[in-house]
């Protein structure tokens, strides 16, 4: 690609901040002072544009750091915007820890503050000392509640709200600095057969169709009772979310690998709507629901064969949490754990060097803890890859598709190579057969009527073009030239797709999902590669979200929900089913645990 991503430039700038010790600086007011007193500004590139800061100093101290302007995603970047300035002031250094899951925003703030301090005459070499943080008190923290939940992502928070609605007091522990997990950075599509929205769009659908596609789409390896529970409860759970204040857009769409137009898109960007909805409820009921971040579960406490609590660590302190009714594991999958992926992978080429869409905390901890106390793990070999990873980060951000019907994939020669409406594993397998396992997504004005139209990750197409993450042209020939593919091949690929749109039915690849032709400038292209996305295997549960042992028996007091579980999606998860899964089974787990005797 001919342009560097902005965030790569930002990371290089960060290195320069710490490396350019010998550069000339504005002289301080006297030889003993560190800064020239005043307020200074700086800026650096974040995920979605410039992050601007304002830094106030006296002669020897950083007094205040404020992020005054940014376009980062709410919820995802909040911890970085709050904690990085606070830490810089508290420890008087630029060598502060970045916030896990928001490292690009964190680094942008650090670079911008360094720029401002240079204007204040600082020698940045004096601001590189790693802070000495206070050690733990060595005391054991002990707490008690009806329900202890491991994991503060979508499933864990759904369980917390549901448990409280059913009369329970709850403690949620989250090992990361903030709640959200994979949910908050997801594309947010939620599958449900919806008679209201789909009816208005003239889309025929049913719970039975959703069930059949989920069952068959996973090669009939999912447990029918769990799939039935998922599909029958998807729409009622969506209505439950709406009752909590969450908003979804009026039109449903077909998400990548979803196989049918039943995906609901929240009004809020990414998965922030889910987390914000749950946290609003939790904040309103904080006397009964406690959320402990930076708290890592290490062991499930068992007494007489029943789960009665959780051992954890927080700031090197031991934490003992006793549960009156039950423990819910909602700790997510293992997509970010390379060793675990390689241990269980049976289908794909080596996953060692394949990036992931997952947040850094998705390391399979809950599965490991559950197996140690006798829980059965099921389908661990079923690891889902997407063909939609960012070539640099592996994330889904930067993806220019808006829905399945209006885009095609072409390889480095400009040729289509797969049915773009197929299952995720089918599309990814086909991508592995292409040169450099690399493809371009091609769309036109139908997907982006204006330059400020946003993709599914809250990024405008103009921003992506400016950052070099997408390419724009008034003709297919020019677009082909920009992305380095054969112009005639690209034109032929688009022409054949457009003919299929006209005639309907299916095309040479068996594709049946069509809407608009790709025939209206401007045309856009975005690069994509394979990325690890979802781990379908995990803790075996029943329809009540109760954990089962290796003999199929219920482990008393132990429940699980979300990507930490297995047996629902079989060998391949339909796109849009994950958000339904975590909310449906999170809600069920909370209710089941709260009603336990």
Q: What is the pLDDT of residue 410?
A: 98
The answer as to whether 473 is a domain residue is yes
Q: What is the pLDDT of residue 359?
A: 87
Of residues 516, 526, 502, 520, the one with CA closest to residue 444: 520
Collect all residues with Cβ–Cβ distance below 8 Å to 7 and sequence separation of at least 6.
45, 46, 47, 104, 108, 467
Residue 25 scores a pLDDT above 50: no
Same domain for 277 and 247?
A: yes
The answer as to whether 1 is a domain residue is no
CA–chain centroid gap for 424, Å, is 17
Q: What is the pLDDT of residue 29?
A: 43
Residue 532 scores a pLDDT above 90: yes
Same domain for 292 and 161?
A: yes
Report residue 59 as tokens: 């002669």
Same domain for 444 and 587?
A: no
Same domain for 549 and 480?
A: no
Q: What is the pLDDT of residue 15?
A: 45
Gap between the Cα atoms of 79 and 368, Å rounded: 28
pLDDT-derived band of residue 295, with 50, 70 and 90 as boundaries? very high
Residue 450 scores a pLDDT above 90: yes
CA–chain centroid gap for 15, Å, is 27
pLDDT-derived band of residue 538, with 50, 70 and 90 as boundaries? very high
Same domain for 227 and 121?
A: no
CATH number of the domain that residue 214 is part of: 3.50.50.60
Report residue 315 as tokens: 């700031």
Same domain for 526 and 548?
A: no
Between 74 and 410, the higher pLDDT residue: 410
Same domain for 469 and 561?
A: no
Same domain for 492 and 431?
A: yes
Same domain for 112 and 185?
A: no
CATH number of the domain that residue 413 is part of: 3.90.700.10
For the whole model, what pTM was predicted?
A: 0.83
Q: Which domain holds residue 63?
A: 6-127
Residue 175 scores a pLDDT above 80: yes
Q: What is the pLDDT of residue 8?
A: 45
pLDDT-derived band of residue 146, with 50, 70 and 90 as boundaries? very high
Residue 182 scores a pLDDT above 90: yes
Q: Let me know if 341 is a catalytic residue.
A: no
Q: Which helix (H) or strand (E) holds 583?
A: helix 577-594
SS3 312: strand
The answer as to whether 134 is a domain residue is no
Q: Which tens digit of pLDDT belongs to each residue from 71-129?
A: 887 777 888 899 999 999 999 998 888 876 677 788 889 989 989 998 999 888 788 88
Residue 396 near residue 441, CB atoms below 8 Å:
no
Same domain for 238 and 149?
A: yes
The answer as to whether 197 is a domain residue is yes
The active-site residue, picked from 197, 262, 407, 424, is 424
Cβ neighbour number for residue 280 with a 10 Å cutoff: 14
Q: Which tens digit of pLDDT belongs to each residue from 257-271?
A: 999 999 999 999 889
């Amino acid at each position: 690609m001919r342009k560097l991503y902005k965030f790569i430039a930002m990371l290089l700038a960060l290195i320069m901040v710490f490396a350019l010790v010998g550069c000339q600086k504005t002289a301080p007011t006297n030889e003993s002072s560190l800064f020239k007193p005043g307020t200074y500004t700086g800026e650096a590139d974040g995920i979605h544009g410039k992050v601007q800061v304002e830094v106030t100093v006296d002669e020897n101290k950083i007094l205040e750091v404020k992020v005054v302007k940014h376009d980062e995603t709410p919820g995802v970047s909040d911890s970085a915007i709050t904690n990085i300035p606070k830490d810089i002031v508290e420890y008087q250094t630029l060598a502060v820890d970045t916030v896990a899951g928001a490292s690009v925003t964190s680094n942008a703030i650090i670079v911008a503050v360094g720029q401002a301090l240079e204007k204040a005459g600082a020698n940045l070499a004096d601001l590189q000392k790693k802070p000495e943080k206070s050690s733990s008190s060595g005391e054991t923290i002990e707490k008690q509640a009806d329900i202890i939940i491991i994991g503060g992502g979508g499933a864990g928070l759904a369980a917390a709200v549901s448990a409280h609605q059913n009369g329970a007091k709850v403690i949620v522990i989250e090992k990361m600095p903030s709640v959200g997990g994979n949910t908050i950075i997801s594309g947010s599509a939620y599958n449900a057969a919806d008679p209201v929205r789909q009816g208005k769009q003239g889309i025929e659908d049913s719970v039975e169709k959703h069930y059949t596609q989920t069952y068959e789409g996973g090669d009939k390896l999912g447990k029918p009772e769990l799939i039935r529970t998922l599909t029958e409860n998807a729409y009622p759970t969506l209505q439950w979310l709406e009752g909590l204040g969450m908003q979804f857009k009026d039109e449903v769409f077909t998400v990548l690998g979803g196989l049918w137009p039943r995906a609901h898109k929240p009004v809020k960007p990414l998965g922030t709507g889910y987390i914000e909805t749950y946290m609003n409820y939790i904040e309103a009921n904080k006397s009964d629901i406690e959320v402990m971040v930076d708290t890592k579960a290490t062991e499930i406490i068992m007494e007489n064969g029943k789960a009665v609590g959780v051992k954890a660590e927080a700031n090197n302190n031991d934490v003992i949490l006793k549960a009156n009714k039950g423990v819910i594991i909602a700790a997510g999958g293992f997509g970010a754990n390379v060793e675990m992926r390689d241990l269980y992978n049976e289908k794909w080429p080596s996953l060692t060097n394949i990036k992931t869409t997952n947040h850094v905390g998705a390391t399979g901890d809950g599965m490991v803890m559950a197996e140690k106390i006798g829980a059965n793990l099921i389908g661990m070999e079923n690891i889902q890859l997407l063909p939609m990873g960012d070539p640099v980060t592996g994330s889904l951000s930067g993806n220019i598709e808006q829905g399945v019907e209006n885009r095609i994939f072409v390889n480095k020669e400009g040729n289509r190579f797969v049915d773009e409406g197929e299952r995720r594993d089918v599309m990814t397998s086909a991508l592995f057969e292409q040169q450099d396992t690399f493809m371009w997504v091609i769309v036109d004005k139908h997907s982006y009527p204006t330059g400020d139209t946003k993709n599914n990750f809250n990024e405008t197409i103009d921003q992506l073009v400016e950052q070099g993450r997408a390419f724009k042209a008034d003709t297919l020939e020019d677009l082909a030239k920009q992305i380095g593919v054969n112009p005639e091949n690209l034109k032929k690929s688009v022409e054949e797709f457009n003919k299929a749109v006209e005639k309907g039915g299916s095309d040479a690849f068996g594709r049946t999902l069509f809407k608009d032709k790709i025939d209206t400038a401007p045309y856009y292209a975005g690069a994509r590669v394979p990325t690890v996305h979802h781990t379908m295997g995990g803790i075996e549960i029943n329809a009540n979200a109760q954990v089962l042992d290796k003999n199929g028996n219920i482990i008393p007091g132990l429940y699980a929900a979300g990507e930490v579980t297995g047996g629902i999606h079989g060998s391949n998860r339909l796109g849009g089913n994950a958000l339904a899964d975590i909310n449906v089974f999170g809600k069920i787990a909370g209710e089941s645990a709260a009603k336990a005797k």
